Amino acid sequence: MKFVDYATIYLKAGDGGRGAVHFRREKYVPRGGPDGGDGGRGGHVIFRATHELNTLLDFRYKREYRAEGGAHGQKQKMHGRDGKDLNLPVPVGTMIKDAVSGDIIADLDHDGAEVVIAKGGRGGLGNSHFATSTRQVPKFAQPGEEGAELNLILELKLLADVGLVGLPNAGKSTLISVVSSARPKIADYPFTTLVPNLGVVKPEHGRSFVVADIPGLIEGAHRGVGLGFQFLRHVERTSLLLHCVDVSEMGDGDPVENMRTIDSELAKFSPELLNKPRVVVGTKTDIAGNKERQKQLEALCKKERIAYFAVSAATGTGIKKLVTYLAAALKK
C-alpha cells in the first residue's frame, strides 16, 4: 500500500430540510388550520480514528465529501427525516487543520477518537409553529439552514516512542530490523527507505515500545534537497530521538560533522526536536579500522552529555544494551 501522510479535502455537511406550508383539510374538521411539519437536520461530517488504517491514501484520490441533507417537512405536522451522518475513518495520529487559517481543529491521537468537524444545518420550522390568535393562516415556513463547509488539511503523524534519524545509509533500517519485527528495504545505496517504517521492540524487561525509522536526511533538507522534510513530522510526537551515525571506514564524511549536519537540519525544521532526549548510536562497528572515528564521536557525546552506544546490527554487538537503556529511559 502506498504511504500517504498529507491530504487536502473539501467537506460539506448536509443542509437542513425546509419546513412545510400546509393546511389541514379533512371532512368534519372545520377550520383545520396550519399543519406543516418541520424539516430534518442535515447530516454531520464525523472523523473517527482507527488502527485499521495506516495511511491517508483514500483522501488523495477522493477530495470532496458531502453529507446527506435533511428531508423537507410534510403535512399533518410530519417531521422530515434527518440526513445521514458521513463517517470518515482516518489513521490514529491524524491531525485535522483548517486549510485557510492553518489552525488545528482536532488531533485524533488514540483509537476510537471521534470529532464532529462539520455540523449539519438545522431543519426549518413548518407553518404550524407560526399560528397565533391574530395570525391564524400563516402561509410561510422557515427554510433549512445550510450545513457547514470547510477546506481541510489532513496530516498524519505516526505515533511512536522512539524516532530514528540520520543520514542515508547510516544503518537505521538495519537497526530497526534487528531490534523489532519490522522488515524495511535494506540496500547499499542511499534512500532505500522512502517512507517511515514502524517496529515494535520487546525488551526482556519493561513494556514494549514503538520505533519509527524516518527516511534519511541530508544537508539542505530544509530546502527540499533529497527527500526534504516531508517525513520529519513523524518524529515530533516521539519521546526520544535515536541518532544513527556511521562510524565505519566505509561511511561518507566525518562522524562528528555528520552528526552536526543532522542536528542543524532538525533545528531548522523545529527547534523543539533538539530539546527532546537524544541517544547517539555509532553503527557498523563490526567493520575493521573504525576505532578512531568512533572515539571522536564518543568524545563529542560525552562533552555534550548525550548517551552514546556503539553497535553492530550484523553481529548483535551492543544491541541488547541499547534496547535495555531505551526501555528504561522511556519509563521516566
Read off the pLDDT band of 227 (50, 70, 90): very low
pLDDT tens for residues 228-246?
466 677 778 888 999 998 8
Q: Can you say how many angstroms the Cα of residue 210 is from the centroid of all Cα atoms in its chain?
A: 16
| pLDDT on residue 1 | 42
Beta-sheet strand order (sheet of 86-91) = 86-91, 45-50, 114-118
Count, in order, helices (H) and strands (E) of the chain.
Answer: 5, 14
Lowest-pLDDT choice from 8-17, 174-183, 193-202: 193-202
Classify 258 as helix, strand or coil.
helix
Contact 301, 307 (CB under 8 A): yes
| Alpha-carbon span 57 to 39, nearest angstrom | 36
Q: Which residues contact 134 (CB under 8 A, 6 or more apart)?
A: none
Mean pLDDT, residues 160-170 = 84
- Pair 211, 174: CB distance under 8 Å: no
Question: Measured between alpha carbons, how far is 255 from 282 in angstroms, rounded to an integer?
Answer: 9
Residue 254: pLDDT over 70: yes
> Which has more confidence, 131 or 193?
131
Q: Where do the domains of the chain lie?
A: 6-156, 162-331
Class of domain 162-331: alpha beta
Superfamily of domain 6-156 in CATH is GTP1/OBG domain (2.70.210.12)
Q: Which residues of 286-300 are buried (b: 16+ CB within 10 A; e: fewer)?
A: eeeebeebbebbbeb
Instruction: Summarize pLDDT for 45-65 with one digit per residue, the tens.
Output: 999 999 888 888 889 889 999
CB 216 within 8 A of CB 190: yes
What digits encode the pLDDT tens for the residues 72-116?
A: 999 989 999 999 999 999 999 899 999 999 999 999 989 999 999
pLDDT confidence of residue 73: 95
Give the H or E element holding residue 175.
helix 172-179
In 220-243, which positions are buried (b, 16+ CB within 10 angstroms) versus exposed (e)? ebbeeebbbbebbbbbebbebbbb
* Residue 220: pLDDT over 60: no
197-201 and 278-283 as β-strands: parallel, antiparallel, unpaired?
unpaired
pLDDT at 148: 96
Which residue has better confidence, 132 or 159? 132
